[in-house]
Amino acid sequence: MPSSAQTRTAQTKNGFTPKTCPVCGRPFEWRKKWAANWPNVVYCSEKCRRA
Ligand SMILES: [Zn+2]
């Protein structure tokens, strides 16, 4: 059993894994406004969503 193995899991914030916006290519983190909808969030912003 590996002892201090830091698995390469993405850094999480509040237990949510950051995502990468397919439009601008930037990583974005969980936001409170997406709390109820995070699994469905794809774009970092409304701007990218409409792009
Ligand atoms: Zn974006």
DSSP letter for 3, please: S
Q: What is the pLDDT of residues 1-51, one digit of tens each?
A: 655 556 666 566 568 889 999 999 999 999 999 999 999 999 999 999 998
The position carrying tokens 């792009």 is 51
Query: How much distance in Å is there from the Cα of 35 to the middle of ligand 1?
Result: 18
Domain residue ranges in the chain: 19-50
Query: How much distance in Å is there from the Cα of 1 to the middle of ligand 1?
Result: 40
Q: What is the pLDDT of residue 19?
A: 95
Query: How much distance in Å is there from the Cα of 3 to the middle of ligand 1?
Result: 38
How is residue 13 written in tokens?
A: 């914030």
Burial tier of 15 (Cβ tally within 10 Å: 0-12, 13-18, 19+): exposed
Q: What is the pLDDT of residue 40?
A: 94
Q: What is the 3-state secondary structure (H, E, C) of 6-50?
A: CCCCCCCECCECCEECCCCCCEECCCHHHCCCHHHCCCCCHHHHH
Q: What is the pLDDT of residue 16?
A: 85
